[in-house]
Structure 1
Amino acid sequence: MSIIGLHPRHQKTENALGRRFQTYSINQGLNLSPVDEQEAFIQRQQHLLLKEVWNDWPEHRLYSALVGEPRRILDSGFGNADWAVEAARRDPTVRIEGVDIVPHLAPDDRPSNLQLRIADLNEIMPFEDNSFDFVHSRFLAPGLNWFRWPGYLSEMRRVLRIGGWIQIIEWEFIFRSANDRSDKLTALEEWSSEYQGGLTNCGYPDGKKGSSIAQMCGSWMRTAGFEQLQTSVKEVPTCGWSTGILHHIAPAAWVPTDIVPDPRLKRIGERNLVIMRDLIDSVAVFSVMGREQAVSDRFLRIKEQAKEELAQLDVQPYIRLYACWGRKDGPIEEFKPEDNKGGTFAEESSFACLFPKYRELYLKQSWPLVTKALEKRGIACTLDLVEGRMEVKTTRKTFDPSAILDARDLIKLLARSVPVQQAIKILDDQTACDVIKIRSLVRNKERFVKRRQRILGPNGTTLKALELLTGTYILVQGNTVSVMGGYKGLKEVRRVVEDCMDNIHPIYHVKELMIKRELAKDPNLKNENWERFLPHFKRRTLSKRRTPFKVTDKSKKPYTPFPPPQEKSKVDLQIESGEYFLAKQAKERAKQQERVEKQKKKQQEREQERAQAFVPPRESQANKRGSTDDPGEQKSKKKKTKEGVSADDD
């Protein structure tokens, strides 16, 4: 079966640094790994290694038991297609499709239920929506742009069917020591640093790549919309040391106490030693050195030392292997009485809430609407005007377990002055609420009132902008901010409100949200990481350090062995001036007189400043003498003066 999308430009190769690379990938900055037989051998060893590491998976060891039994599978980045071929031969009724940019490592004898396709993973996937039950992806970090990962995961979610799973496996290229002897792994640290630096400078199209994206996968998958996220981390030895067990990630201070020889661990380490030595030789060479045929002596020395450090049995080096899973869930369907197979509740659940006195009349008038809305959910409600209390509780007609929680949120919003027409919307499954307590975030009351006003803005413009940009309803009342809307909008509003109370003006977040909304309209940027487009405002804080007193007299004083005289206290100064012996009323009169004198002095200074504007400028004496003469007369006078001087000389 032929490979779909194969073009002659994908088959061209070039030799560099003793290995063979795909010319198209090198020119576009895509796959920087070799495409020769040695690379195919290493990928086969990695495939066997993963089957040994995750021994808690089903018998086939191809994917986790979470995935179930998918009928249509996508292998994203198939490489030498070992995983896809084994999955296809395991069950001939399963349809598998593989996609990658490199066709050179694909085997010729492929099962009939396996179809390979050539495509760039940095672009939109050539598959229809809701096409696959399971997506398998591993070791794509060197081939995907760092800013492409969120968009790539969104594409994988798009092609998945509702209920489908994605499985991602990646190395974290940071080498550690199990017995805290990382000082013996200096060459491996230098190699990792060089590798990361090389990937950063050769990204596609203009961004960087990352060697350790494993820690970010969970966050990116959550942003892409995956649910039921799970992560498994294995610490895989890089040589055959067998003291301890292969375990999940442990705290930093973990030290193995029971030394148990493990032949399986030793076998895994020996296999991983072969893999890591080849990766050190090949994976970082092109990203670091480029097309230069002469590899620097320093990098060669680092590589050789790093390969030696991998095999130090006394140091017990290991590397972490991350696996992440996520599920695509569909829209939340309405819960109906027939969906409750367990029948009525065994016990009654109730919630109560107090309300302020000024809400009594409004609640009394609007309570029939509340009762009618809750009756549809089988929830009973009571309004106690004597105690100022609202209560909701389940009945034998209640069929939805979450209905009592929605009713609790309803009375909580009504107590916070939310209109009843708006508060009833909380009974919708797609709507949530959040009551943000802001009074405890600012101690000073005046400062609190000022910052709370910033949320509203002039004539409520800032509040309206936040509601439009986040798709929520916001009500600022007293010491709380009540928010209703989707979960994403609630998260954004809480961040804006808390930052506003921390003296960060909401206008900065409004600008950021406006930029995000415009980026979401662009289909090419909709699923990309927007960090590079968002503004980064620096917070300027004024120094609260006291300014030192200015010393005007800096003359050198004669030395004296005696300490300086003690400064006089406030009481001593009052005794000297006689103020100490005055009565209370006399002291107040003296202070009042002092304030009046200061006011008079300031008033005089201000009057002098105003009078300066009315003082005419001084004119020069020459202008005063010649201001009344005509210019012609002045010339004749000068001429006569010169003639008189010459006559005197004669």
Structure 2
Amino acid sequence: MIFSQDRNAAELYLRKIFDGRLIFPPVEDPKKILDCGYGSGAWAIEAAEKYPDAEIIAVDISPHLKPEETPNNLWCQVDDLNEPFNFKPEEFDFVHSRLVAPGIGKSRWTGYMKDCFKVLKAGGWLQMVEIYFNVQSDNGTLTEEHGLRRWSKTFLEVYEDKKDLRAPTRLQSMMEAAGFVEVQSRMMPLPLNGWSRDERDRDIGNLNCSNAKDLINAMALWPFTERLEMSLEQFYVLIARARSEIDDLNLRPYFPLYVVIGKKPSA
């Protein structure tokens, strides 16, 4: 539920950072899969092709993102994840939820987790992938005086009355509270430039660099200028400074990327 152009770019670097893996928990021969927040449809299409005998249901609130052509076993539909699920209890073997945190209402998270739990069959798995939009530094050189930290602090606070943009850091505890077991959480640094010595991570950072510069502008323009009444001049000064810091290899900036899986107890 982030902007469409950012979702499309995100699919590219997430595929690379996950080494092409679609499903992390031990899901064997799934018959029915729910994809929450399908975005460009890339994950759902790959899942449909990898599991041709499975039925894939993909939902998103933005109908204009729906792919024009999809495999015969994939159905994309418009649905608002802030509303209770309309699916039957214990209908799915696997639920995939990715990059929906900016669109989920603050008071909806408990119900969203319970809905994911309810529609899973006993022994089924939930996999959640979310970016925490709080820029960190791999070497601790980012300070509160940096534009990137000011952008992060302001962005996390501007929606506090409506959104919980810190939810990615608490996915594990929320899943456990909803009844999931064998919950595992992993934070993976999503580099904003090519600072890493690891070739794969360096490639991801280089791929992500221009997207990160676009993202901090696109996601913040309306809330900063309308909700906080920041002037356009102030806004673009902040964005220019943050963008220059994204280019700074010495700062080693990254967004924390959380991958969390949990199992509905077997009957």
TM-score bracket for the superposition, by shorter chain length: over 0.9
Residue 53 (str. 1) matches residue 17 (str. 2): yes
Contact 1:153 1:221 in 2 (8 A): yes
CA distance in 2, matches of 1:152, 1:279: 26
Q: Which has the higher strand share?
A: 2
Q: Tell me the equivalent position of 2:76.
A: 116
The alpha carbon displacement at 1:267 in A equals 0.2
CA distance in 2, matches of 1:177, 1:308: 15
5+ residue gaps, structure 1, are: 1-30, 202-207, 244-261, 332-650
Selected match of 1:237 from 158, 172, 191: 191
Q: Tell me the equivalent position of 2:51.
A: 91
CA distance in 2, matches of 1:119, 1:80: 15
Selected match of 2:252 from 313, 316, 336: 316
The alpha carbon displacement at 1:197 in A equals 2.5
CA distance in 1, matches of 2:119, 2:26: 19
Q: Secondary structure at the match of 2:262?
A: strand
Q: Tell me the equivalent position of 2:36.
A: 76
The amino acid of 2:189's aligned partner reads E
The alpha carbon displacement at 1:143 in A equals 0.5
Q: Secondary structure at the match of 2:103?
A: coil
Q: Tell me the equivalent position of 2:166.
A: 212
Query: Is the deviation greater in 62-71 or in 123-132?
Result: 62-71
Contact 1:72 1:132 in 2 (8 A): yes
The amino acid of 1:160's aligned partner reads L
CA distance in 2, matches of 1:54, 1:232: 12
Residue 274 (str. 1) matches residue 238 (str. 2): no
Q: Secondary structure at the match of 1:174?
A: coil
Q: Tell me the equivalent position of 1:567.
A: none
Q: Secondary structure at the match of 2:261?
A: strand
Residue 160 (str. 1) matches residue 120 (str. 2): yes
Contact 1:185 1:306 in 2 (8 A): no
CA distance in 1, matches of 2:224, 2:216: 12
The amino acid of 1:224's aligned partner reads A
Change (3 A) 1:291 1:200: closer
The amino acid of 1:235's aligned partner reads P
Q: Write the mapping of 1:547-562 to structure 2, written as runs, cut at 5 A.
A: none
Q: Write the mapping of 1:473-492 to structure 2, written as runs, cut at 5 A.
A: none
Q: Write the mapping of 1:123-142 to structure 2, written as runs, cut at 5 A.
A: 123-142=83-102
The amino acid of 1:61's aligned partner reads R
Contact 2:127 2:261 in 1 (8 A): yes
Q: Secondary structure at the match of 2:135?
A: strand
Contact 1:175 1:318 in 2 (8 A): yes
The amino acid of 2:263's aligned partner reads R
CA distance in 2, matches of 1:34, 1:115: 22
CA distance in 2, matches of 1:318, 1:185: 17
5+ residue gaps, structure 2, are: none
The alpha carbon displacement at 1:263 in A equals 1.8
* TM-score (structure 1 length as normaliser): 0.39
The alpha carbon displacement at 1:212 in A equals 2.1
Q: Write the mapping of 1:12-23 to structure 2, written as runs, cut at 5 A.
A: none
The alpha carbon displacement at 1:306 in A equals 0.8
Contact 2:143 2:149 in 1 (8 A): no
The amino acid of 2:239's aligned partner reads K
Q: Greater CA radius of gyration, 1 or 2?
A: 1
* TM-score (structure 2 length as normaliser): 0.92
CA distance in 1, matches of 2:91, 2:265: 15
* Percent identity for Structure 1 against Structure 2: 34
Q: Tell me the equivalent position of 2:222.
A: 286
CA distance in 1, matches of 2:175, 2:22: 21
CA distance in 2, matches of 1:185, 1:92: 52
Q: Tell me the equivalent position of 1:182.
A: 142
The alpha carbon displacement at 1:319 in A equals 1.9
Contact 1:238 1:318 in 2 (8 A): yes
